[in-house]
Amino acid sequence: MTGAPPPAGSAAATGAPVLAVDGLDVHYGRRRRRRPALKGVTLSVARGETVGVIGETGSGKSTLARAVLGLVRASAGSITVGGEEVTGHGAGKWRALRRRGVVQYVFQDPLRSLDPDLTIADSLVEPLILAGVARAEALTRARAFLDRVRLAGDLLDRLPGELSGGQRQRVAVARALVTEPELVILDEPVSALDSANRVQVLEILKDLRATGVAIVMISHDLGSVAGIADRVAVLYRGELVEVGTAREVIDTPRHPYTRLLVSSAPTLHTAPADRAERDALRALLHA
Ligand SMILES: Nc1ncnc2c1ncn2[C@@H]1O[C@H](COP(=O)(O)OP(=O)(O)OP(=O)(O)O)[C@@H](O)[C@H]1O
């Protein structure tokens, strides 16, 4: 995006995946309350690739995002972000990685991604200033990104609370991308939006793929990711049960849970399964 060569050893320089998750286990709780949330998850994301991670509530999607962002610890396996193995990183190393802007995130609720007391301008320049960019240059880049997410420059002086939900989420997307990260994790970025805003944010994400950023987009809704993901990974009860191109997963779903997801989303399929077939798939899953 800037035309500057990638730092030596970075994923961009080596052609290595931007994200490599290998045999990842995550547990919550201690002793008798210890429960697995992720079991043996293996997934890699190439530079510039968009991967959708889908699954029902409680399947472990947010846990995967949190593990990749260093917010929960792996109990087994490894995570490599931008060519750097992060699994054993403590708070200091994570801070340094975040400051370099290698990985950024957008949560479902934009108020979690944005500081309510910072103006939109300050929210957008803050990550750039942390990365060592001078304020004037940071403001120029912030304005350009606002344009990219189809927001007018006169919003820069407002607080997040003075924007609509859709505008806020577009600011959160701009903030995540303004440092030109190698990887962005979006956790249910459109599920809190009404349908018009949902379509608009999905269109913006589609356009932003051209910047070369790798995107992991988490959603419970196959329909939301199908249009923008190069590949779709299906999480079911903490396990990755299927990974394929969006087309493969929709046209030839292999796991019963994926078949149920596809058959429950008639807009994806010309011939949605009838109720009897969906009931049979549910029976298979709960056997
Ligand atoms: N902080 C926590 N402490 C204990 N258990 C947790 C915690 N966070 C999540 N879990 C459990 O881990 C499992 C996976 O949760 P996770 O939030 O990753 O699922 P999800 O697929 O993102 O769900 P949703 O779509 O509802 O956000 C669930 O059984 C959940 O109850």
Give per-residue pLDDT as tens, 122-162.
999 998 998 889 999 999 999 988 888 889 888 999 999 99
Q: 3-class SS at 270?
A: coil
Which pLDDT belongs to residue 1?
43
Residue 281 has pLDDT above 50, yes or no: yes
Residue nearest to atom 25 of ligand 1 (CA): 57
- Ranked by mean pLDDT, the top range of 30-44, 100-114, 176-190, 219-233 is 30-44
Indicate if ipTM > 0.95: yes
Give yes or no for residue 267 CB within 6 A of ligand 1.
no
What pTM value is reported for the model?
Answer: 0.86
Instruction: Determine if ligand 1 sits within 6 Å of the CB of residue 39.
Output: no
What was the pLDDT predicted at 9?
45
> Ligand 1 atom 5: the closest Cα is on which residue?
28
Question: Which pLDDT value is given to residue 229?
Answer: 93
pLDDT at position 80 over 80: yes
More confident residue, 192 or 268: 192
Pocket test for ligand 1, best of 21, 61, 222 (most atoms within 8 A of CB): 61
Across 220-286, the runs of DSSP E, i.e. the strands, are: 231-236, 239-245
Average pLDDT over residues 198-203: 86
Q: How far apart are CA 283 and CA 287, in angstroms?
A: 6
Q: From the CB of residue 196, how many other CB atoms can be counted at a distance below 10 Å? A: 9
Question: Is the separation of the CB atoms in 251 and 222 below 8 Å?
Answer: no
**For residue 164, is pLDDT > 60?**
yes
* C-beta 57 within 6 A of ligand 1: yes
Whether ligand 1 lies within 6 angstroms of the CB of 59 is answered as yes
Instruction: Answer yes or no: is the C-beta of 28 below 6 A from any ligand 1 atom.
Output: yes
In this structure, the strands spanning 239-245 and 231-236 are: antiparallel
Answer for the pair 61, 224: CB distance below 8 angstroms, yes or no.
no
Q: Tell whether ligand 1 has an atom less than 6 A from the beta carbon of residue 117.
A: no
Structure tokens at 187: 């956790």
Averaged pLDDT for residues 71-89: 93
| Confidence label for 29 from pLDDT (cuts 50, 70 and 90) | very high
What is the distance between the alpha carbons of residues 39 and 176, in angstroms, rounded to a whole number? 29
Q: Which residue has its alpha carbon closest to ligand 1 atom 2?
A: 28
Residue 18's pLDDT band (boundaries 50, 70, 90)? very high
Does ligand 1 lie within 6 Å of residue 67's CB atom?
A: no
pLDDT value, residue 213? 92
